[in-house]
Each structure stands twice: as structure tokens, then as C-alpha cells.
Amino acid sequence: MQPRTQHVIAGRSLYTRLVTRVGAVLTISAAALLIAIWISTQLAANEAYDRILSGSALQIAENTWYENGAVNVDVPLAALSMLGTGDHAIYVVLDPQGRVIAGDGEFRPDIPWEKLEQGPLLRDGEYLGTPVRMAIIGRRMPVDGPHPWAVIVLAQTNNARMSFAHSLGSKALLVIIAMSVLTLVAAMFTLYQALAPLKRIEAAIRERDLNDLSPLNLTVPAETHALVSAINAFMQRLAIHRATMRRVIGDAAHQLRTPVTALVSQMELLETQTSEEKRQRHLDQLRERTRSLGALVNQLINHAMVQHRSDISLQQRIDLGELVRSQMTDVLSNRERTPDLALDMPEAPCFIRGDAISLGEAIKNILNNALQYGSPGLLHVRLEADETRNEARYVLRFIDDGPGIPAADWERLRKPFSPRGEGRMGASLGLSIVEEVMRAHAGGMRFEHTAQGYFSVVLDFPAWQAPAEELA
């Protein structure tokens, strides 16, 4: 026999996958945070330097006045010194006619005369090809004309504010990188500790003896409790199957030992006989023992099959009437003599949930018992709905006119390998197989005597109920 191929393939480490995903989340979060901090530092630097620029321009405006028909200005040194080092400050003061009265005459930005009433205006501009930030302030003069404003324009290059934003962004970047690395290390350690119960489960299973199928006795987190419960349930099923196998093997060994020994002894006696009459008698006994041994082996096989199939999922929908009809046809087709037969069942299908193979074996065993040991002239099979209960059930009766089973033996014959009684050789498995099949199908088997004095074996089954997912 070729060894089975291992279908469990070792994939990528769960720890590696979790660390990778946590690292990816941290990287994306750090990048988003860095972008947000960079934007916020740019806005903060611009706002701070704009306030300083506007304040300096207001100081110049406060020192601008109209006297003797001309605009005068006294630019305070403090107004320019507030702009800080590292930047070049440029200013120009214009009278209402747009003439330069102070500052750099080459610095002539566009003046928004209509918006000067709104207060300090902040604009981006250029001075000799260099980007600058400008504060434009209008001071009303007592003159007539369309533009009664003396205009103060104070500009500053962007070196200081860019340096300030870059410094804040670099420091934030270092903090974010350091915190991300520390968080990733902490996450790796936490994940390693979180996955430690899986290692304990693996070690507990590896250290188990091959014959130890007792449940794992471990304290595990709630997330792995379902896994350990599934392992314990599997080992319990495996233990039940192994116990069933041992019982079947033990029963077979015990039940086969005596007939095989008798068969061998009969063959040895046959070899020593010289009388043709005695040889014929031994041949008849040998034939009978061989037939009994074959029947026993067949029952043992059926018994093992029923025990094996009792653990499968009984989800098949079966028409019980059709199953009974097919089994009767199969059993009676090999009979030379048949009694008075009758099959009475409803016209509508009688659906039950179960396994057709094991149910067919149970029905066949009852029919064979009735034909072999029961009915000398009558065998009636009746299927009907049981209307005496709240739940829907079906009752299947096998009625014959034989002597039946004594009431004292009803419980004994439900057990495997019970002696047949009445001087019949060997032990029987037929009714014990029926008992196991009915137990697996949530049904029952009982014995009754009818009012006419006939004996009947009665099976009752729960009717088919559609699964919940079909009703949803």
C-alpha cells in the first residue's frame, strides 16, 4: 500500500505575517503622520512669520503722516529688526499719487488700491527674481482723489520661515521614526507572547503517547479555545472508533475461534473415517458448520459496517416506503417458498432522515429472521404515520404468524452475540444490528403481540424535518 500523501503544506509563518502587517500599518501611519506634521509646521511657520511681517508693516504705517501737503514717514529700526536674521527685508512707501517717498525705488509691486480698506494684505511676490512674502498696508491721508492712501509695502525673503519649517519637520521625523521602531519592537514581542499558547499546544500534542487519546488539559486563551476543543473532540471520536475497532476485532476473534476449531476438528475426523455412512454424516455436519460459519462472518461484517456508519452524518432524505419495498424484493427473490405476503403503506412518500445502507441492512435482518424463524405462512409489513405523538413520526411493523420471541428474551436479544435459544446453534447479531441502527437514527425498536395473536417487530422513525438553512 502506498503511503498517504501529506496534504498539510507549511505556509508562511503566522508570526512573520503578523509582524509584516503590523509593520506595514505602522509605516503607513508614520507616513501619514509625517505628512500631516509637515503640512501643519508649514502652516504654523507661515502664520507666525506673517504675523511678524504684518506687525512690522503696521509699525511703519503708524509712523507715516501727512504734513504741509506731503506724506512723511519715519521708519523705526525696530520694525525691520523684528524680521530676524537670515532674511533680506525690502520696503517701499508710496504716497496717494503712487510716488516713492521712502524705501527701495526699484521695488514696485502691484498695489490693490480697492482692497486697502480691508487691513493688512499678505501676498506672495518677487524681488529681483527672488520669492518674497509681502505685507501691504494702506494709511488714509487727508487728500482728495481716487486713492487717498499712503501705501506701505514690507517684503521679506522666505529663508527663515523655510528653515524654521524644515527644522520642525526634521525633529518630528526623528521622533516618529524612533517611536515607530520602538512600537514595532514592542509589537513583535507582544505577538511572540500572544502566539506562545500555540507552541504549548504543539508541544502537548508532540509529547503525547500514540495510545493516549485523552483530552488535552490546557489553559488557553479564548481565541484558541475553539481549536483545542476541536482537537479534543477529534481525539474523542478517534478513541471511540478505535474502541469500536478493538471490540469488533475482539468479538470476531472470540466468535470465530469456536466454529473454526470445530470445523478443523470435523475435517480431521472426516479424514479418519473409513465407513461411507459415517463419512457422509461428517460431510453433512461439515457442510452445516461451514454454512453457519459463513453466516457468522457475514453478520460480523455487517455489524462492523453498521458501527462504522453510525458515526457518519445522517443527512440523506430517504423514502422509507421505497426502501422497504426494495429490501423485500431483494430478500424474497432468493426464496423458493414465500408465505402470504402483504405490504401496506401510504400513497404519499414517507420521508425520513438517515443512511440508506445501514437502514437497508436493518430491514433485511428483520425480514430474514421472520422468514427463517418466524412466519410459517404469513408475513405482513405495514408502514403508517404515528398520530399519537406531538412530533411527526412513522411506524414500521413486521408481522408474522410464528411463535415470536418470548418476552423474557426481548432485552437479551438486543445485545450482540446473544445465544439464539431453542437449541439453535451459535449466537445472533441480527437484532443487535437493528438496535444500533435505530439508536443512530433517533428511533426505536420494540416487540409486540397483535390482537390476532401474531408477533410483530416494530420500528419507529422521526419524520424528515428540513434543515434550518433550507427554511431560511
The Cβ of residue 289 has, within 10 Å, a number of other Cβ atoms equal to 19
- Select the more confidently predicted residue: 21 or 374: 21
- Select the more confidently predicted residue: 7 or 333: 333
**C-alpha grid cell, residue 18:** 503578523
307/429 Cα distance (integer angstroms): 12
Each residue's pLDDT tens digit, 357-399 = 888 888 988 888 888 877 678 889 999 988 777 778 899 999 9
- Would you state the pLDDT for residue 383? 93
Which one of 3.30.450, 3.90.550, 3.40.50, 1.10.287 gives the CATH number of domain 37-166?
3.30.450
Determine the average pLDDT of the residues in 256-272: 72
- Would you state the pLDDT for residue 231? 85
Each residue's pLDDT tens digit, 165-216 = 888 888 888 888 888 889 888 988 888 888 888 888 878 888 888 777 888 8
Pairing between β-strand 70-73 and β-strand 64-67 as defined by DSSP bridges: antiparallel
Please list, in sequence order, all residues whose beta carbon lies within 8 angstroms of the beta carbon of residue 173, skipping any fewer than 6 positions away. Answer: 34
Determine the average pLDDT of the residues in 326-351: 84
- Distance from first CA to last CA of the chain, Å, rounded? 46
Residue ranges covered by each domain of the chain: 37-166, 209-244, 248-305, 312-471
Please list, in sequence order, all residues whose beta carbon lies within 8 angstroms of the beta carbon of residue 388, skipping any fewer than 6 positions away. Answer: none
Nearest C-alpha neighbor of 397 from the set 445, 442, 325, 331? 445
State how far the alpha carbon of 114 is from the alpha carbons of 98, 99, 120, 247, 446, in Å: 14, 18, 13, 106, 109
The Cβ of residue 37 has, within 10 Å, a number of other Cβ atoms equal to 18
Which one of 3.30.565.10, 3.30.1490.20, 3.30.300.130, 3.30.1360.120 gives the CATH number of domain 312-471?
3.30.565.10
32/36 Cα distance (integer angstroms): 6
For the chain, the average pLDDT equals 80
